[in-house]
Amino acid sequence: MPVFKTPFNGYSVKFSPFYESRLAVATAQNFGILGNGRVHVIDLSPSSPVINELIAFDTADGVYDVAWSESHDSVLVAAIADGSIKIYDTALPPHSNPLRSLKEHAREVHGLDYNPTRRDSFLSASWDDSVKLWTLDRPGSLRTFREHAYCVYSASWNPKHADVFASASGDCTVRIWDVREPGSTMIIPGHEHEILSCDWNKYDDCLIASASVDKSIKIWDVRNYRVPVSVLNGHGYAVRKIKFSPHRRNLIVSCSYDMTVCLWDFMVEDALVGRYDHHTEFAVGVDLSVLVDGLMASTGWDELVYVWQQGMDPRA
């Protein structure tokens, strides 16, 4: 299956919601600790096992995450470690990019999520403990959500309710927000350790998953979050990112500092259904294609982006 080598350490990979062969990759030099960053837009060629780079954008600091616009097929948003958010249009010539640089966060921006239902706005989660709401056409943020007591690592829109989202923080909580409300509507003290990622189930708007430094993934029902619906154990180190499958209700993918990417079915007792150990450094970015059932992508600090079909060997 195709592999793409990035010059810097991979931080995030996202499938385009418009083109089944297109992906964006966020990378940062020196493991994101110091140096430049680069966003790659890459394309799988249908015939050969080669990944072509369509365009790349250099940044002055590391890039920690990217998100594709849900409304424009060529627009993507990048989370930069210097606290800025940059908007790029791959259809425009290089000198017109970035379209916009939004500098409000005081510290590293670590996670982005584009609203999939309203399609006009996106969220940014930052190490300055806040989440911000943005639209493409405004120079400033619409709202700032400031309740977390430590770094916010990710934010995720509810797939059904256009105004509801969740945020995962190092303060060991997941918070549920409604942008029409002044404060958070729910606080889930989900883990004993930092929570690095969260995601909503794409078929059940009440189910949310959280991934933690405690090596576990927990599935919660927001109607009764005293007890998790399920606890997925199996990673050897902190779980960095999780994502529900857009195609199967019970399937969830995760990547971890233990260098593996895992697939889970949270409804069965033997939840771990697949483990991929193709990365040779921390696996920090993973995504599932919305357009192609079972197409997966991952990236890590080994500077490699793998794209493969579920069930196949990424290295084959």
- Residue type for 12, please? S
Q: Does 257 bind other proteins (CB under 8 A)?
A: yes
Nearer to other proteins, 237 or 293 (CB): 237
| The binder of other proteins chosen from 149, 267, 268, 312 (CB under 8 A) | 149
- Which part of the chain contacts other proteins (CB under 8 A), choosing from 23-31, 243-251, 268-276, 290-298? 23-31
- Any idea what the Cα angle at residue 252 is, between residues 70 and 277, rounded to 5°? 110
Q: Does 203 bind other proteins (CB under 8 A)?
A: no
- Which part of the chain contacts other proteins (CB under 8 A), choosing from 13-21, 139-147, 193-201, 263-271? 193-201
Q: How many residues does the chain have?
A: 316
Nearer to other proteins, 121 or 126 (CB): 126
Q: Does 11 bind other proteins (CB under 8 A)?
A: no
Q: Does 238 bind other proteins (CB under 8 A)?
A: yes
| The binder of other proteins chosen from 38, 202, 241, 278 (CB under 8 A) | 38
Q: Does 150 bind other proteins (CB under 8 A)?
A: yes
- Which part of the chain contacts other proteins (CB under 8 A), choosing from 45-53, 58-66, 159-167, 244-252? 58-66
- Residue type for 21, please? S
Nearer to other proteins, 37 or 116 (CB): 37
- Which part of the chain contacts other proteins (CB under 8 A), choosing from 111-119, 131-139, 178-186, 235-243? 235-243
The three-state secondary structure class of 181 is: coil
Which backbone phi and psi does 78 adopt, to 5 degrees? -125, 140
Minimum CB distance to other proteins, residue 111 (Å): 14
Among 246, 290, 202, 284, CA closest to 23? 290
Q: Does 213 bind other proteins (CB under 8 A)?
A: yes
- Any idea what the Cα angle at residue 226 is, between residues 273 and 258, rounded to 5°? 35
C-alpha 55/C-alpha 249 separation (Å) is 34
Q: Does 127 bind other proteins (CB under 8 A)?
A: yes
- Which part of the chain contacts other proteins (CB under 8 A), choosing from 66-74, 209-217, 270-278, 306-314? 209-217
C-alpha 155/C-alpha 116 separation (Å) is 13
Q: Does 151 bind other proteins (CB under 8 A)?
A: yes
Token pair 């493991």 in the structure block, residue: 31
Cis before residue 246, ω within 30 degrees of 0? no
Site string for other proteins, 265-284 (x = CB under 8 A): --------------------
Over the range 182-220, which residues count as b (16 or more CB within 10 Å of their CB) and which as e? eebebebebbeebbbbbbbbbebeebbbbbbbbbbbbbb
Q: Can you read off the two tokens belonging to residue 195? A: 């929570």
* CB contact at 8 A, 304 and 314: no
Q: Does 128 bind other proteins (CB under 8 A)?
A: no
Give contact residues for other proteins (rule: CB under 8 A).
7-8, 29-36, 38, 58-60, 81, 86, 97-98, 101, 108, 127, 149-151, 170-172, 192-194, 196, 213-215, 237-238, 240, 257
